[in-house]
Structure 1
């Protein structure tokens, strides 16, 4: 594994232009540092005393006193990673959080929601400053429509609180697996950074830069941050089997090698955040906003210049697509997005009564494009580049929250929180270019309609659908004795799309000594189906890894008459029961930690129906409804409340902080064991899908981080462990499985505070350039490593970061 170092050393030459400022400042900084070190060694501190705001509405509660497990992730932990994306950096320090790369996956390579405890991405609620963050417009794996953490600037983060427990009774829909609460930074001062990174292989070059400014004044504060990143593609590919066979059969042809790149896409992103408050005297006005804009582009499956779109038909006499694409063609899919959320409110914090009135508007819009392709049914009149259409998710939320501290003569006043919420969720599909979905004259001769690779949204497929909900809750927390705390919550929520739901939660904590306490909770939860899941239709094209033949799959709305005739039913909410029990400890010598066991049972989970082959009459009926791509559907499916699951797991977090050798040592071990089983529904009767679902993510994950700071230097080593997992081809026919063994990665970094205002960090992620086993069954497609891997499969990368404070 040490052979990676020569390659890494050679690769660093391309980043030297990023470092002149650091190199020029180094001698001066060293002299300054000898006189005035930037950072003095700090004594060991009790991290269990951090005040939390997630999972409790009791002010002043620490994470040690919390009735449910809450992790607190520092701003430094999420800002100093190699990735420009917040979710990636969080996943490296939270073992129960998974964020897949998913290259060339019909949009999932650009929009990558995070999954907590192995559940769906839309079963984890995301908050910003305690307020619900809107969803992405993109429907991902199994129809999951979760929030996209990567639309929030890493630089804007003050800290992240992760509640690892069901919380629908407290926060509403989606909080089945837990809650991720992003707390925006409020600190004064001006800071900036520039960072360059690259993989050992010499690709994936990424440049990031950011600027943050904050000020405090007599009646409030204001902070603002802006961040930019430009990441180049990676490619871990080899020549496809059909490309090799075609070139052997046609010696005069020289195909690109490879004909298709599998890896991370080219991306550019811009992120902005604002956070502020102003004292009005009788109350405090506050507001915050996030905004993001960016784009990404990547290859999708190569089209061999034989058959398919290259079929010569009487519809276009004398015309051969090889005159345009003599070497076949590799479509390139692009997504351009813009995202924003703005929250404003007025609140008053009193010793007895606290209230908060707020309004929120959030929107995510993604536009899809396809280049280097063709609508084969249009023949020579087809364009080669297409605008495919737009998906938009908009959410408006109104909240009224209050807390009353009732003195009943107990150890402390009873904390009674209550409130109401109104939310309007709107999903919109905008049509693409007509040529992206048109049915041309070649359709009657079997030529595929629509843009080859990703047919566009038709004008009749476009539309706007909304869902309104109203909710009310009560959340009570009481310290009955100095040692025993009891909490309870109930929430009623009514949706105009399916009806109402009521959920409850009971939690408790008993402190045996000031250093040891036990805790537990029981709760019910739910996730409401979204307007996009209920109403939208989609078309996707895939490649059978055995036959290397393209197939086209249509997703119908479960309300579509054709789907209803095949057994589709209106969607209902997913429902859950969560149980957890554990204990927490701390000591006077810097050792603290927690151990929690949990079980999450989810019924009516959203899934895909079985694949249905349509008759020609049914295809014609769909075309008549305004879905021209239906003419080439190989099969169709729809979303349905399909199956039940049981997830069991263990979370262990241990931290040790102490002074050592005139410095400060911080050791953290986090371990997650998580196993999900299908307990009912159609997936239970399908051995293939059942196995992929139950074994598709590692059961054991762990992260160990050691940090030592002394004087002007900080050294960090992180080890990441991912257990074994199973993958499948996903072929339209046939089943092939591959079991991948455990993987271990080591990250290391050194930070030098050159002055009290400048620091330089040099780091390597996957220091020893570890790669997983190659994906044997996907090799025919040119893929080296499975695109479903739960970790980065691009090898080692290093980065250099210059931080400045003004």
Structure 2
């Protein structure tokens, strides 16, 4: 249940500051003239406001607008990389050999959890990925949207749960699809300086006018990426090769780098005016792909290669004389369809919109080059692991009433309701992928080695339903001061209800300079996948290099009940994460082409999700799990649970400075973000607390410059990441490794051949810069930290041909 005291406290503090701003504004204001219309060059935004003509400069909260050109001209096919290169407070990791996270990569805004940022497409909530990532984070997969289909992206850097509901603690990313008639396409190829990671992209777009009453835009894209490897041979592999010169040991035995990946993505975006008072729209995305990634090498001298009396003639060395590194594969399908009607009545004073949206993300896992050793000679060497699926159905009714209260301009009153149904489905893999074979009694590992299959007992369909109602008001008290308020009530079937609120204000000192501030409460509801899903995983002890098995179980399941029998343990059902957000800043724009903004913020979050400490099982507890037919129970070393585990405070500043005139465009952006653990289990664990607080750079910045010289456009971008900390893995007491600040320079040259065709060549990280080498897991062949907040593969060059008419 949401603590209403947080709601009251947040709004009280907000009211004190913003009403003070209002009283100052009212006292100074002597004119009741209407506001001027937005200038032509101002971008009209649709995120964070329901007022029809709000501009980025006129926003009551900080917002970035990334143009379609900046998005589609990036070297990477992954939208996450493009965002990370344009928004300093947005960071993304690659996480090689991190199971499904190598394909569905975690990204953070302002250093918060990936699922604490809400993703919209054309203003409508985007469904989540089926993957539960680090600490159970379940966010939308931005990589499923083709960058070439995007008109612009609006990034609201402010808490907005009171406006949009669950997840919008860090902010909102709203992807606006292209809606103009015309035809276009592109072809691109790229390769890393090291000679690997070859990538190819092809795409096209066709936009049609619908009898001057609307448009239909179809976009498609295909990509094919090869692996990269920045690895050294493992020391134990070198030793094994020297001891067994007749065995051909691969070098390296495992690859640290980007996975092999290919896929396709399609979008449809359409709108149609049936009359002057009624219009409709339909937009959809569909895509799929597959990928393959290495797992840890299994050394022939490790316990995995033990023999048994049950299968006296079975020796795993006969199959894998040089050991084996399992190949982990994923096949995914993603679908989203949204349709709606909208119109206006009462002389356009009341506008309405009804919409229905459905989204689905399904991931199927497979693993090959491995074994279920407990089955001995009866085990296959490749397995179908099972699938995860996330389904969401959203129904929305939204209304906006424009009313004259005798203020400087019309008041904007928005209200509406939402019904959302989430369904999380786990489907089992083939029996051999999770079966406990006869040889398990003698210590041979059960299940497909490297990634257990989902068993019948772990499978099922889990649902959560929610209903919401909101009210959002913007009041232009004078031609200089606007006050905004919002409140939202939401009820969830699985954990209770929430009440969130927001108050915001903007005071315009001059037509060029404005002060803005917001305060809000927010929340993020637990998902069905986080509440009920269970799975086993294999890990590698970095000291002994022996493989072990862990289990992660539902906090309301039978395993949690067994662990709760311990006197000092209290595994609890999941509750919502709760936040209080504050922002305050200045925005500036001038007719000379200069724009600037500075925004300070603080985000306090309680009950953050985390993975509990591992509970090492006693023999008695393990026997209880076996009696419950828990998959792989006989080999499980530890069990864990998702819990509302800790509290944090994040403080920071965003600074943006731009200049554009004629042939020259300059943009500088800087973010400082510091997160501190203020309570919970992490506060008591100094090691984990340090890694959590310092795992991402506190300082990051971008500086870009574009210069047009006739038919040529020369571009450059300097990306800077400050220092950050990772685990060292050292046994000498130095448990942390600090990585220094790192800068990367990107350059490009575009030749506009004519009005419809262009050719671009460029290089990301043109100086082929690499970060400090990592000590953590170096005995596994790792050179650069797997947790780096930037690409560690060195320089990449690319060429791209575009046509558009």
Query: 1:171-207 CA deviation, whole Å, 9 max, x = no partner?
Result: 0000000000000000110000000000000000000
Residue of structure 2 in register with 1:78 after alignment = 71
Q: Is the 8 A contact 2:729 2:776 kept in 1?
A: no
Report how far residue 737 of structure 1 moved. Answer: 1.7
SS where residue 115 of structure 2 aligns? Answer: helix
Residue of structure 2 in register with 1:118 after alignment = 111
Residue of structure 1 in register with 2:612 after alignment = 609
Residue of structure 2 in register with 1:302 after alignment = 297
Map residues 397-416 of structure 1 onto 2, 5 A cutoff: 397-416=394-413
Residue of structure 2 in register with 1:207 after alignment = 200
Query: 1:115-146 CA deviation, whole Å, 9 max, x = no partner?
Result: 10000000000000000000000000111000
Residue of structure 1 in register with 2:132 after alignment = 139
Query: 1:449-479 CA deviation, whole Å, 9 max, x = no partner?
Result: 1000001000111101000000000000011
Among 230, 252, 257, which residue is 1:258 paired with?
252
Among 231, 236, 247, which residue is 2:230 paired with?
236
Q: Is the 8 A contact 2:730 2:775 kept in 1?
A: no
Map residues 740-751 of structure 1 onto 2, 5 A cutoff: 740-751=739-750
User: 1-side partners of 2:496 and 2:444: how far apart?
Assistant: 45
Residue of structure 2 in register with 1:698 after alignment = 697
Q: Is the 8 A contact 1:458 1:626 kept in 2?
A: no
User: 2-side partners of 1:214 and 1:92: how far apart?
Assistant: 29
SS where residue 251 of structure 1 aligns? Answer: coil
Residue of structure 2 in register with 1:786 after alignment = 785
Is it true that 1:283 corresponds to 2:282 in the alignment? no
Query: 1:724-761 CA deviation, whole Å, 9 max, x = no partner?
Result: 11111579998732110010000000000112221000
Residue of structure 2 in register with 1:509 after alignment = 506
Is it true that 1:197 corresponds to 2:190 in the alignment? yes
User: 1-side partners of 2:655 and 2:43: how far apart?
Assistant: 18
Report how far residue 624 of structure 1 moved. Answer: 3.5
Query: 1:498-530 CA deviation, whole Å, 9 max, x = no partner?
Result: 111100000000001111110000000000000
Report how far residue 322 of structure 1 moved. Answer: 0.5
Against the structure 1 CA distance between its residues 314 and 767, is the aligned structure 2 distance closer, same or farther, given a 3 Å change threshold? same
Residue of structure 1 in register with 2:379 after alignment = 382
Q: Is the 8 A contact 2:714 2:749 kept in 1?
A: yes
Query: 1:18-50 CA deviation, whole Å, 9 max, x = no partner?
Result: xxxxxxxxxxxxxxxxxxxxxxxxxxx989711
Q: Is the 8 A contact 2:730 2:776 kept in 1?
A: no
Moved more, 709-718 or 375-384: 709-718
Structure 1: gaps of 5 or more residues = 1-44
SS where residue 379 of structure 1 aligns? Answer: helix
Residue of structure 2 in register with 1:652 after alignment = 655
Q: Is the 8 A contact 2:774 2:783 kept in 1?
A: yes
Is it true that 1:457 corresponds to 2:454 in the alignment? yes
Map residues 374-523 of structure 1 onto 2, 5 A cutoff: 374-523=371-520
User: 2-side partners of 1:349 and 1:791: how far apart?
Assistant: 47
Query: 1:317-362 CA deviation, whole Å, 9 max, x = no partner?
Result: 1221111000000100001000010000001156411110000000
User: 1-side partners of 2:41 and 2:450: how far apart?
Assistant: 52
Residue of structure 1 in register with 2:343 after alignment = 348
User: 1-side partners of 2:310 and 2:254: how far apart?
Assistant: 30
Q: Is the 8 A contact 1:543 1:731 kept in 2?
A: no
User: 1-side partners of 2:313 and 2:282: how far apart?
Assistant: 64
SS where residue 777 of structure 1 aligns? Answer: coil
Report how far residue 633 of structure 1 moved. Answer: 1.1
Is it true that 1:361 corresponds to 2:358 in the alignment? yes
Q: Is the 8 A contact 2:512 2:589 kept in 1?
A: yes
Residue of structure 1 in register with 2:333 after alignment = 338
User: 1-side partners of 2:124 and 2:629: how far apart?
Assistant: 39
Report how far residue 114 of structure 1 moved. Answer: 2.2
Q: Is the 8 A contact 2:268 2:283 kept in 1?
A: yes
Against the structure 1 CA distance between its residues 731 and 146, is the aligned structure 2 distance closer, same or farther, given a 3 Å change threshold? farther
User: 1-side partners of 2:730 and 2:429: how far apart?
Assistant: 29
Structure 2: gaps of 5 or more residues = 1-37
SS where residue 666 of structure 2 aligns? Answer: strand
Among 338, 355, 367, which residue is 1:370 paired with?
367
Is it true that 1:317 corresponds to 2:320 in the alignment? no
Normalization by structure 2: what TM-score?
Answer: 0.93
User: 1-side partners of 2:41 and 2:622: how far apart?
Assistant: 61
Against the structure 1 CA distance between its residues 578 and 731, is the aligned structure 2 distance closer, same or farther, given a 3 Å change threshold? farther
Q: Is the 8 A contact 1:402 1:417 kept in 2?
A: yes
User: 2-side partners of 1:146 and 1:626: how far apart?
Assistant: 31
User: 2-side partners of 1:87 and 1:47: how far apart?
Assistant: 30
Residue of structure 2 in register with 1:38 after alignment = none
Against the structure 1 CA distance between its residues 730 and 490, is the aligned structure 2 distance closer, same or farther, given a 3 Å change threshold? farther
SS where residue 101 of structure 2 aligns? Answer: coil
Against the structure 1 CA distance between its residues 624 and 731, is the aligned structure 2 distance closer, same or farther, given a 3 Å change threshold? farther
Against the structure 1 CA distance between its residues 435 and 47, is the aligned structure 2 distance closer, same or farther, given a 3 Å change threshold? farther
Normalization by structure 1: what TM-score?
Answer: 0.93
Residue of structure 1 in register with 2:684 after alignment = 685
Is it true that 1:569 corresponds to 2:561 in the alignment? no
Query: 1:747-793 CA deviation, whole Å, 9 max, x = no partner?
Result: 00000011222100001000000000111232110011111000000
User: 1-side partners of 2:298 and 2:459: how far apart?
Assistant: 28
User: 2-side partners of 1:111 and 1:492: how far apart?
Assistant: 31
Against the structure 1 CA distance between its residues 702 and 409, is the aligned structure 2 distance closer, same or farther, given a 3 Å change threshold? same
Residue of structure 2 in register with 1:630 after alignment = 633
Q: Is the 8 A contact 1:46 1:590 kept in 2?
A: no
Against the structure 1 CA distance between its residues 495 and 367, is the aligned structure 2 distance closer, same or farther, given a 3 Å change threshold? same
Is it true that 1:271 corresponds to 2:268 in the alignment? no
Query: 1:605-630 CA deviation, whole Å, 9 max, x = no partner?
Result: 00111110112232233233342222
User: 1-side partners of 2:536 and 2:727: how far apart?
Assistant: 22
Report how far residue 711 of structure 1 moved. Answer: 2.1
Map residues 88-107 of structure 1 onto 2, 5 A cutoff: 88-107=81-100
Against the structure 1 CA distance between its residues 48 and 699, is the aligned structure 2 distance closer, same or farther, given a 3 Å change threshold? farther
User: 2-side partners of 1:732 and 1:378: how far apart?
Assistant: 36
Report how far residue 249 of structure 1 moved. Answer: 2.2
Q: Is the 8 A contact 2:729 2:775 kept in 1?
A: no
Report how far residue 538 of structure 1 moved. Answer: 1.5
Alpha-carbon RMSD:
1.5
Aligned length: 758
Q: Is the 8 A contact 2:302 2:546 kept in 1?
A: no
